[in-house]
Amino acid sequence: MSAFFAIVGRDLKLAARLGGDALTLVLFFVMVGAVMPFAIGPDRVLLAQLAPGIIWIAAFLSMLLGLDRLFRADEDDGSMLLFRHAVIPLEAVVAAKMLAHWLLTAVPVLVATPLLAVMLSMDGTSWGETALALLLGTPALTAFGTIGAAVTVSLKRGGLLAPVLILPLAIPVLIFGVAMIGAPVGSSAAMLFLSALSLVSVAFCPFAAALALRVGTE
């Protein structure tokens, strides 16, 4: 267990010391949301109506675009080879990296949602529902993303491939995430489905991703 948390801590430390990756991500998230009024028009009523969808799309895109960092640096500097011979199985290493990635991408985005909520003239309850939906849905996005990152890690010119692969798989997250907004909290089917999807994908994805990493880096 200490090895697990050591890896989480290492990734967080690396991100904190090596630059503003999390900050850039938040900036991207806010900018995607802020660009929408230019495309749709500054109508406050319309914006408030579309705001949950806009925030979900912005979060979806920023989570997908950050994928490549998940394993790329470790693959390039050789840490991945050490991980394969770590005291904990590679599946646990992947789970640790997944947790760190979620802390580094989803949490900053969640923290930044009030800013977008104000800009898109959302009221308090619909902001709360959107934030709750993001909190429940982002683990699934991270889990699917981990598979995408693991599958493309051995490609030198992977580029946009991981997001393109993962986007169709992540559509259910978007469907349930948007559907639970506006539905009564606690009893909505969408919320239960979203939570189930997150739990199952978080449990299942480390195995698939670790298998892909073993094949990809052998």
Residue entry with tokens 């449990």: 203
Q: What angle do CA 187, 193, 199 make, to 5 degrees?
A: 120
Rg (C-alpha) for the chain, rounded Å, is: 18
Which of 181, 208 has the CB closer to other proteins?
A: 208
Measured CA to CA, the distance from residue 144 to residue 209 in angstroms comes to 9
Measured CA to CA, the distance from residue 139 to residue 198 in angstroms comes to 6
67 binds other proteins (CB under 8 A): no
Q: Where are the alpha helices (DSSP H) in the chain?
A: 2-18, 21-40, 44-65, 69-77, 79-84, 90-119, 124-152, 161-169, 171-179, 189-216
Q: How many residues bind other proteins (CB under 8 A)?
A: 27
179 binds other proteins (CB under 8 A): yes
Measured CA to CA, the distance from residue 60 to residue 39 in angstroms comes to 19
Minimum CB distance to other proteins, residue 75 (Å): 14
Which of 5, 204 has the CB closer to other proteins?
A: 204
211 binds other proteins (CB under 8 A): yes
82 binds other proteins (CB under 8 A): no
81 binds other proteins (CB under 8 A): no
Beta carbons of 33 and 63 less than 8 angstroms apart: no
User: Considering only 29-37, 38-46, 107-115, 204-212, which stretch makes contact with other proteins by CB under 8 A?
Assistant: 204-212
- Give the one residue of 67, 96, 197, 202 binding other proteins; rule: CB under 8 A: 197
- Give the one residue of 78, 124, 168, 184 binding other proteins; rule: CB under 8 A: 168
Q: Which residues bind other proteins (CB under 8 A)?
A: 147, 151-152, 154-155, 157-158, 161, 164-165, 167-169, 171-172, 175-176, 179, 193, 197, 204, 208, 211-212, 215-216, 218
